[in-house]
Amino acid sequence: MKALLLIDVQNDFMPGGALAVPEGNQIVPIINKIQHKFDLVLATQDWHPAGHASFASTHNKDLYELIDLNGIDQVMWPDHCVQGTTGADFHAELKLDKIEAIFRKGTNPEIDSYSGFYDNAHLKSTGLSGYLKEKGVTELYFAGLAGDFCVAFSVKDALNEGFTSFLIEDATRAIDAEGFEKAKAEIVEKGGKILNADEI
């Protein structure tokens, strides 16, 4: 059973959004083109309450500053993907008809959640792993934003959960190229595979 997991294909991560990933919009046509190749398509959605602990504005900190948040390194992000805002909506051109379930993350105001599986302290599961196992999924393919944060964290958690995991490189974009190279190396080291959409 082969599943495609779309990570945070949301307006705030697109060019012009609050936390824009360069060329983020370019992944949407690729994702739309490959959805039919999978038995199951799922999506995650960053879904922060206003005043979230990961927002620079909450702490009067500089954007992208690194702070210690309850013992975890936390980047101070611009306010983004606030519940119920247009920025939190999926990109208008993303095909949603094949998406069977949406897993929301980052809902706890006190802790960030890059991965689609767990919050950053691994205190609480989103239920994604159990859902996939119940469906009989063995192979997981990842696309979305941003490659060096939410996508990479999700792939690493999937590998730890025992799923054969593939990162679709041309269907993801990163905030920082150097960070993405490092993340890809970690994924391969953990047994994950990197490929392009036309190799599926």
User: Is 81 known to be catalytic?
Assistant: no
User: Is 95 known to be catalytic?
Assistant: no
Q: Which of 45, 37, 140 is nearest to 101 (CA)?
A: 45
Catalytic-role residue among 12, 79, 81, 105: 105
Tokens of residue 150, six digits: 């939410």
User: Is 37 known to be catalytic?
Assistant: no
Q: In 3-state terms, what secondary structure has residue 180?
A: helix
Q: How close are the terminal C-alpha atoms of the chain, in Å? A: 14
* Residues contacting residue 117 through CB under 8 Å, at least 6 positions apart: 125, 126, 128, 129, 154, 157, 158, 161
**Residue 158 Cα distances to 67, 69, 113, 161, 178, angstroms:** 27, 25, 14, 5, 22
**CA atoms of 45 and 77, how far apart (whole Å):** 16
Catalytic-role residue among 8, 46, 119, 157: 8
Contact indicator for 194, 169 with CB cutoff of 8 Å: yes
Residue type, 162: G
Q: What Rg, from alpha-carbon coordinates, does the chain have?
A: 16
Q: Which of 62, 176, 134, 132 is nearest to 142 (CA)?
A: 132
Catalytic-role residue among 46, 79, 81, 150: 150
> Catalytic site residues?
8, 105, 150
